[in-house]
């Protein structure tokens, strides 16, 4: 934890994962299974983020701007990717 009462994203993710008592991956260190799991999550979320970038580029080309829905989807996918990256960090 940084400072007094300030949690990092990784602190929040660790706390979230620790709520699930069936999640053995938090704090277990690196294993083949754990790395495979984290890699698949990161790849999936990255692919979803890139799909939203493709939509945004297409909207810019067709309309000259990115729609509100696509902006929201970009932010959602970016947050999902940050979450799985932080999950890797706390592993």
Instruction: Give the per-residue pLDDT at 19.
Output: 74
* Residue 6 φ then ψ, to 5°: -100, 120
Contact 26, 90 (CB under 8 A): yes
Instruction: Give the per-residue pLDDT at 31.
Output: 85
Instruction: Give the per-residue pLDDT at 14.
Output: 80
Distance CA 37, CA 50 (A): 20
From first to last of its 91 residues, the chain has per-residue pLDDT tens of 455 578 888 888 888 777 776 665 666 778 898 889 889 999 999 999 999 999 999 999 999 999 999 999 999 999 999 989 988 888 7
pTM of the full predicted structure? 0.79
Maximum C-alpha span of the chain: 49
Helices (H), the chain: 9-18, 32-63, 68-90
């Amino acid at each position: 934890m940084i400072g007094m009462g300030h949690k990092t994203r990784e602190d929040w993710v660790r706390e979230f994962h620790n709520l699930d008592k069936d999640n053995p991956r938090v704090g277990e260190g690196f294993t083949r299974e754990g790395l495979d799991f984290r890699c698949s999550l990161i790849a999936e979320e990255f692919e979803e983020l890139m799909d939203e970038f493709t939509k945004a580029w297409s909207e810019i080309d067709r309309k000259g701007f990115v729609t509100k829905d696509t902006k929201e989807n970009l932010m959602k996918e970016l947050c999902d990717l940050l979450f799985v990256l932080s999950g890797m960090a706390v592993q």
